[in-house]
Chains A and B, each alone.
Chain A
Amino acid sequence: MNARIVAVFGNLVIAETDGRVVQNSLAYCVRSDGVRLMSEVIRVRGQLADLQVFEETRGLRVGDPVELRDEMLSVVLGPGLLGKIYDGLQNPLPELAEQVGFFLQPGVYIHGLSLDQSWDFTPVAEPGDVVLAGDPLGAVPEGEFTHQIMVPLAWRGEYTVEKVTAAGRYTVEQEIAVLAGADGQKRAVTMQQDWPVKRALNVSRRRLLPTEPLVSRVRIVDSMFPVVRGGTYCIPGPFGAGKTVLQQITARHAEIDIVVIAACGERAGEIVETLRDFPELTDPRTGRSLMERTIIIANTSAMPVAAREASVYTATTLGEYYRQMGLNVLLLADSTSRWAQAMRELSGRLEEIPGEEAFPAYLESRIAAFYERAGAIELRDGRVGSLTIGGTVSPAGGNFEEPVTQGTLKVVGAFHGLSRARSDARRYPAIDPLDSWSKYSGIIAPETVTRMRRLLRHGSDVRQMMTVVGEEGTSIDDFTVALKADFFDNCYLQQNAFDEVDAATPADRQRFVFSKVAEVVETEFRFTDKAEARRRMFEVTDLFRNWNYAATDSDEYRQWLDRIDQFISQAQQPAGA
């Protein structure tokens, strides 16, 4: 033991040492009953090391020993991550439940990968090959993917392959290759490797400009406020506006290889829903269980707060690791506000000078650094992988003028702002079409999107005016614009998450429906009066809604489409014809 506790305050412990201390390294506080509590060095002052403890500090005493380590907080990477449910420190929760029962016990840690499971290894590299970090040495099948066993990503410089183990079944601890460094030193490689979570993992030739749309099958997102593979976006919204439901829908339907869900400081019940549902659901693209492409990091609100801070990084690192294999990964972080609050709690304990709303001054740079870990990269062999990050934000009082939302808006590529008014009116997804924006281009031509946005804006202006002058004071042209905006909102932007068909619209269908909606919107109707206008627009709204509910290319689908085409051609005929 190379240090002793001198102070305890909440989850902050101050230890005194006469030895070496590494900033952000791990430490273990040893309780008098022998339990070792994992901690991280977060500040060094003279011989004092401030530690944030990832567990409840109950029972720690002044004078208790502290074990300072050299390594930083890391996760283990290797085959077997997919389908796992971890806490913020990569302890597998089901295994913890088996070992300690209903409750989480402080000081119980389990290795993130199964050490018993063996994997079907096929070598790729040959003796004599010269390799760099990240180059594949072999591969194992993991679910639907080929999991590459790479030269450990943290290794620097060139290595020569001395030996590769023959094809066969091995566990993650067994040696699968021996590499020799430039200095002639031989190092063994296993299927697992560690990576410090707070360092971005990116071993690539270069970073690419992300352009390929990430289809989430949520119409308002894909068509109006698109996200691209390797991009970033945020979903701020007041409570009850449907942030989590939107994330769940995305996790389910997004056209992407792997989804990492980071449930950070949110309700345990929501995670249970995912845990119970996902194994039952099949991924329509592969026919396999959705769980096989999902990793869940669950650090719910009741779990220790320092681990909550770490959980976001843990999730990001796992996502980056699969990106190194040329896969497309989506990280959904719910909610980044809880993560920011964890930083605030700690900063308060450290008695740092507070910034706005008592958040630490480094809040914005931390948020920026987190989102910057997203990106599309070109690997050394030309393959492309991407990590997309979508974070929810839970602003206090639903007011976006607060540090976390503002700090996030500066660095993301798309903003899906949820509005209380829309969720109250049961217009789901409650993404506000007037306030939201995206810097990416998606599956619909940007000029069409702009035209639709103008329509929505105009419609909203007319609606506002109508609350003052009444329907009778509004011209029929303005009134029609308002109805058209409502029509677009009702049958395109809104989507019923509980309907099997309507819940997810593939890109092709979106383009087609969008073009039909645009046809209606661009038709010059000649309504005789407002009653007729309303009746006709209700009629076409109803047609589109039913069309949305019909399975693609079913008879029903074609029938509704026929009726819509009839409606349009009728409306486009000149008066009296």
Chain B
Amino acid sequence: MRKYFDEIRQIAGNVVTVNATGVGYDELAVIQSKYGESLAQVIRLSGQQVSVQVFAGSQGVSNTDRVRFLQRPMQVPFSEDLLGRVLDGSGRPRDGRSEVTGKMIEIGTPPANPVRRRMPDQMVHTGIPMIDVFNSLVESQKLPIFSVAGEPYNEVLARIGLQADAEVIILGGMGLRHDDYLNFRQAFEGGGVLGRAIMFIHTAADPVVECLMIPDLCLAVGEQFALQGKRVLVLLTDMTAFADALKEISIIMEQIPSNRGYPGDLYTQMARRYEKAIDFDGAGSMTILACVTMPGDDVTHPVPDNTGYITEGQFYLRGGRIEPFGSLSRLKQQVNGKTRDDHRAIMDACIQLYALCRESREKRDMGFEMSDWDRKLLRYGVLFEQRIMDLSVNIHLFDALDRCWEILGECFEPAETGIRRSIIEKHWPKQDGKPQPHAEPEPAQAEA
């Protein structure tokens, strides 16, 4: 019993209002126009009037077109066949292959019960020392990469996708340039992971409403895999495009904007999605890595700002490097105590020394006199940037730790590093057979 409604009362932006009865909130509809069919979703009920946001946009919709309601919310087919596929924001294939079949699952489902979460404790190795050594990524973490438009954030994301040891990789592209989409595809193909990857792609040329669906689609599918016991990695890029799509729709719906035009529920909307990252007690896990471009490199912009309050840390990608300052993985303490005994000591010492190096650089730039200690720090800074911070460095955590020791050995006396004696004795690089016993210039402030 399919009923059609054809009393369209208003078409504004991507929202069409039609007179209809017996329609459920959040339900899906199909709108038929001269230019074809499009899915739409109910976003407001008011008496007889039903407002739907049209996935394909309202271009070409006329007030005589027909709307059919599907009596169900947005769903996506779920099966192993999804692996290796590319879909769009309506869940249709965009790789020219046939429709995916499988059990239909709802998207945007209720959150997990906090008591069914377990404490995350597995490190995700990425091969990027600035992440592995200094801000370890942890399974089930939700972590954004903050960057500006010109930075290679998509490359970093693709690389982590390739190197992280996940059983299922789901890429959600929002407002992607078509080139970026092709790059991701190539990278996944080249890396041989396409067979365990699923891509939900919305490009900048696609209708904006579909952009809103991307995270929910990715997370609904990812959640199902996680419930089957798989370790899932979800890559979302770019969440700022998602927030902008939210803004667009909420303004059309005449909601009062709160900050720079974004809706008052921006935090809730993003949190509902990021919070899907989970380590199920008794099943698999889902890790979320997202890109957030900061308009004008401004971290107080509502999108990065709200994101920072939601996620478990953040990476700053600036000047082609992951910044050691400001970047933070809130969960690193859960894992970096049991990798290798020198991990935490190296993590603290290298960053403190690099901070001191920055001060010395400032001093140098202001024309103050350089002491021997300053010169050592300057040398250290250069080596650290070249051998550790550079994004092209791709080595295992243990190699990265060894390399940090090497740099410290080249620049400093053991006591200058502020590292505990027992660890120095074990790990200090031995040039002439034994570690150099002592030296007493100004020590780096130990143990902050």
Q: Is the CB of A59 within 8 A of B113?
A: no
Stretch of B39-47, B60-68, B239-247, B408-416 lying at the A interface:
B39-47
A158 to B128, CA, bound (A): 73
In angstroms, Cα B117 to Cα A94, docked, is: 11
Contact status A345-B264, CB under 8 Å: yes
Q: Which residues of the other chain, B, contact A239 by a CB distance below 8 angstroms?
A: 305, 308-309
Q: A103-B110, A103-B111, A470-B368 are in contact. Are A9 and B46 (CB under 8 A)?
A: yes
Specify which of A58, A273, A358, A424 is in contact with B264 (CB 8 Å cutoff).
A358
Which single member of A57, A93, A427 contacts B115 (CB below 8 Å)?
A93
Beta-carbon contact of B264 and A302 below 8 Å: no
Binds B, one of A393-401, A435-443, A448-456: A393-401
**How far, in angstroms, from A97 to B308 measured CA to CA in the complex?**
29
Knowing that A97-B115, A276-B119 touch, tell me 15 more A-B residue pairs with CB under 8 angstroms. A6-B47, A58-B73, A102-B113, A102-B283, A103-B112, A240-B313, A268-B112, A268-B275, A269-B312, A272-B114, A302-B275, A345-B264, A396-B259, A396-B305, A424-B325
Bound-state CA distance A85–B113 (Å) is 11
| B residues near A6, Cβ cutoff 8 Å | 46-47
In chain A, residues 39-71, which have Cβ atoms closer than 8 Å to a Cβ of chain B? 56-63
Instruction: Establish whether residues B113 and A93, one from each chain, have CB atoms under 8 Å apart when the complex forms.
Output: yes
Residues 370-426 of A contacting B (Cβ, < 8 Å): 394, 396-399, 424-426
Are the CB atoms of A300 and B110 closer together than 8 Å?
no
Closest to A14 in B: B46
Query: For the complex, is B11 an interface residue (Cβ under 8 Å from A)?
Result: no
Within 8 A of B (CB), among A219-274: 238-240, 265, 267-269, 271-273
Smallest Cβ-Cβ distance to B446: which chain A residue:
A542
Closest to A298 in B: B114
Q: How far does the alpha carbon of A548 sit from the alpha carbon of B73 in the complex, in Å? A: 59
**Residues 483-510 of chain A, each 1 if its beta carbon lies under 8 Å from chain B, else 0:** 0000000000000101000000000000
Report if A555 contacts B (CB, 8 A). Answer: no
Contact A394–B309 (Cβ < 8 Å): yes
Within the assembled complex, what's the spacing in Å between the Cα atoms of A268 and B256?
29
B185, CB-defined interface residue at 8 Å: no
Q: With the chains together, A554 CA to B33 CA distance in Å? A: 83
A550 to B46, CA, bound (A): 67
Smallest Cβ-Cβ distance to A470: which chain B residue = B368
CB distance from B289 to the nearest CB of A (A): 16
Q: How far is the CB of A224 from chain B (nearest CB, A)?
A: 20
Known contacts A58-B25, A62-B45, A269-B117; A301 and B259 CB within 8 A of each other: no
Tell yes or no: A211 within 8 A of B by CB.
no
With a cutoff of 8 Å between Cβ atoms, the chain B residues found around residue A276 in the complex are 118-119
Instruction: Report how far A271 CA is from B312 CA in the complex, Å.
Output: 13
- Interface segment, B16-24, B187-195, B199-207? B16-24
Inter-chain contact B115/A301, CB cutoff 8 Å: no
Residues in A whose Cβ lies below 8 Å from that of B114 = 85, 93, 268, 271-272, 275, 298, 300
- Say yes or no: is A89 at the interface (Cβ < 8 Å to chain B): no
- Kindly supply a per-residue 1/0 record for chain A positions 89-100, scoring 1 wherever the CB is within 8 Å of any chain B CB and 0 otherwise: 000011011001
Closest to A272 in B: B117
**Is A305's CB under 8 angstroms from B268's CB?**
yes
Say which residue of A345, A354, A357, A396 sits within 8 Å of B268 (CB atoms): A345
B101 an interface residue at 8 Å Cβ cutoff?
A: no
| Docked complex: B123-149 residues within 8 A CB-CB of A | 140
> CA–CA, A534 to B371, complex, Å?
16
Min C-beta distance of B227 to chain A, whole Å: 7
Is B155 positioned at the interface, with any CB of A under 8 Å from its CB?
no
The answer to whether A103 and B313 have CB atoms under 8 Å apart is no
Q: How far is the CB of A245 from chain B (nearest CB, A)?
A: 9
Within 8 A of B (CB), among A514-557: 545
**For chain A, which range describes its interface: under 10, 10 to 19, 20 to 34, or 35 or more residues?**
35 or more
Q: Kindly list chain A residues whose C-beta atoms are within 8 Å of the C-beta of B267.
A: 265, 301, 338, 341
Distance in Å from the Cβ of A337 to the closest Cβ of chain B? 8
Tell me the nearest residue of chain A to B254, going by C-beta. Answer: A351
A361 to chain B, nearest CB (A): 12
* Distance between B105 CB and nearest chain A CB, rounded to angstroms: 12
Whether A303 sits at the interface, judged by CB under 8 Å, is yes
In the bound complex, CA of A10 to CA of B448 (Å): 48
Q: Does B280 interact with chain A (Cβ within 8 Å)?
A: yes
Q: Which of B26, B257, B275 contacts A300 (CB 8 A)?
A: B275
B141 to chain A, nearest CB (A): 8
A91 vs chain B, min Cβ distance (A): 10
Counting CB contacts under 8 A, is B183 at the interface?
no
Of residues 3 to 49 in B, which have CB atoms within 8 Å of A's CB atoms? Answer: 21-27, 43-48
A106 CB–B CB distance under 8 Å? yes
Instruction: Check A208 for interface membership: any CB of B closer than 8 A.
Output: no
Residues of B within 8 A of A240 (CB): 308, 313-314, 328, 330
User: Is B221 in the interface zone, CB < 8 Å from A?
Assistant: no
* B-side contacts of A63, CB under 8 Å: 21-22
With A and B bound together, what is the CA distance between A354 and B255 in angstroms?
11
B300:A302 contact, CB within 8 angstroms = no
- Tell me if B310 is interfacial: C-beta within 8 Å of chain A: yes
Which chain B residues border A106 with CB–CB below 8 Å? 110
Chain B residue numbers with a CB within 8 Å of A9 are 43-46
Query: Nearest residue in B to A471 (C-beta to C-beta)?
Result: B368
Instruction: Give the residue name and chain of the A residue nearest to B276 (CB).
Output: A302
Q: Is B435 part of the contact surface with A, judged by Cβ < 8 Å?
A: no
- Nearest chain B CB to A558's CB is how many angstroms away? 22
Give the shortest distance, in Å, between A402 (CB) and chain B (any CB).
10
- Is B115 within 8 A of A302, CB to CB? no
Interface size for chain B: under 10, 10 to 19, 20 to 34, or 35 or more residues? Answer: 35 or more
**Cα distance A7–B314 when bound, in Å?**
40
Q: Could you tell me the distance between the alpha carbons of A104 and B113 in the complex, rounded to whole angstroms?
A: 6
How distant is the Cα of A301 from the Cα of B270 in the complex, in angstroms?
A: 9
What's the minimum C-beta distance from A453 to chain B, rounded to whole angstroms? 23
CA–CA, A351 and B46, complex, Å: 14
Contact: B24 with A60, CB < 8 Å? yes
Q: Within 8 Å of chain A (Cβ to Cβ): is B376?
A: no
A348 within 8 A of B: yes
Contact of A7 with B45 in the complex, beta carbons under 8 Å = yes
Q: A59 CA to B28 CA in the complex, in Å? A: 10
Q: How far is the CB of A14 from chain B (nearest CB, A)?
A: 8
Q: Please name 11 pairs of A and B residues whose Cβ atoms are closer than 8 Å in the assembled complex, sorted by A.
A: A6-B47, A57-B25, A59-B24, A63-B21, A240-B313, A265-B268, A272-B118, A272-B119, A301-B275, A359-B258, A396-B302
Closest 9 CB pairs of A and B: A397-B300, A301-B271, A302-B275, A302-B111, A358-B258, A239-B308, A58-B26, A426-B448, A8-B45
Known: A58-B26, A94-B115, A397-B300. A104 touches B110 (CB 8 A): yes
Q: Please provide the chain A residues from 89 to 131 with a CB less than 8 Å away from any CB of chain B in the complex.
A: 93-94, 96-97, 100-106
**Judging by beta carbons under 8 Å apart, are A424 and B326 in contact?**
yes
Residues in B whose Cβ lies below 8 Å from that of A7? 44-47
Give, as a whole number of angstroms, the nearest-CB distance from A548 to chain B: 11
Contact with A along B308-341 (1 / 0, CB 8 A): 1110111000000000011010110100000000
B274 to chain A, nearest CB (A): 8
> For the complex, is B116 an interface residue (Cβ under 8 Å from A)?
yes
Cβ-defined contact, B227 with A302, below 8 A:
no
* Complex Cα gap A14–B25 (Å): 13
Is the CB–CB distance between B305 and A397 below 8 Å? yes
Nearest B residue to A299, CB-CB: B114
A425 to B257, CA, bound (A): 36
B47, B114, B276, B312: residue with the most chain A Cβ atoms closer than 10 Å: B114
> In the complex, what residue of chain A is closest to B299 when comparing beta carbons?
A397
Cβ of A293 within 8 Å of any chain B Cβ, yes or no, is no
Is the Cβ of A103 less than 8 Å from the Cβ of B109?
Answer: yes
Task: Look across to chain B and name the residue whose beta carbon is closest to the beta carbon of A10.
Answer: B265
Is A344 in the interface zone, CB < 8 Å from B?
A: yes
Given A7-B46, A94-B115, A102-B227, is A59 in contact with B26 using a C-beta cutoff of 8 Å? yes
- B255 contact set on A, CB distance < 8 A: 348-349
A570 at the B interface (CB under 8 A): no
Instruction: Tell me which residues across on chain A come within 8 A of B268, comparing CB atoms.
Output: 265, 301, 305, 341-342, 345
Cα–Cα, bound, A191→B113 (Å): 29
**Minimum CB distance partner of A268 in chain B:** B114
Q: Say whether A32 faces chain B, with CB atoms less than 8 Å apart.
A: yes
